[in-house]
Every structure is written in structure tokens, then in C-alpha cells.
Amino acid sequence: MTDIEGLIERLEKAEKGSLALEVEVFEAFESLGPFIRIGGVTTSIDVALTLVPKSCPVDIELERKWGATCKIYLKAFREVFGIAKTAPLAICAAALRAREVEREK
């Protein structure tokens, strides 16, 4: 089983997406429930957004100097976030946090 918090930390510290991180993300999502694999999850914004829980609003901010922030707004006025060098990595981190929150319910 993948260590979710460790994976989130690796995503947020990575300089760019990679196949190795992608495999870890797939394993993490499979451990959290039904999941369809789509390649490019750590390198494509469009693909990374498929990880966000359905009907949850998302804000993505890009900053040249440090990278990207992704906020996912969950039900009951709760939000989770990811901060990384690239938008896809930030989205992956935030989506993993969102799935963890949903699983805790």
C-alpha cells in the first residue's frame, strides 16, 4: 500500500512529473477506491483534473517564481490544497488530500 502523506510530500517537492510518480499516484488512488488509469497524470493539467472528485470546484494559481497552487472545495465548506512546482503535481497532491477526506467520512 502506498503511504499517501509521503506521496503527497514527494509530489510537492518534485521538480516535474515523472512515470515513477505517476505509478505511485495510480497505486494510491486504487487503494482509495474505484479508479481509471489515464496516462500523463503528473504532466498534464487536463489529465490531473480527472482525479478531482466530481462536482468539486477547483482553483489553480500559477506563479512563475515558485510554481502552482491547487485548491479543491469540498462539501461542508471544507477545502484541501496542493502546492508544487507544476500545476499537474499540485492538482495530484490536492486530489489525494480530497480523497483522504472523503474516505474519512
- Specify the CATH number for the domain of residue 39: 3.30.2120
Rounded to an integer, what is the distance from CA 90 to the centroid of its chain? 6
In this prediction, residue 2 carries a pLDDT of 60
The Cβ of residue 33 has, within 10 Å, a number of other Cβ atoms equal to 9
pTM of the model: 0.91
79 closest CA partner among 88, 69, 65: 69
* Set of cell numbers at residue 32: 482509495
Q: Which domain holds residue 78?
A: 4-104
Helix or strand run (H / E) with residue 67 = strand 67-74
Average pLDDT across each block of 10 residues of the chain; the chain has 105 residues. List them in order.
86 96 91 77 94 93 92 91 97 94 77
Number of domains in the chain: 1
Name the region of 16 (left: φ>0; alpha: ψ -120 to 50; beta: rest): beta
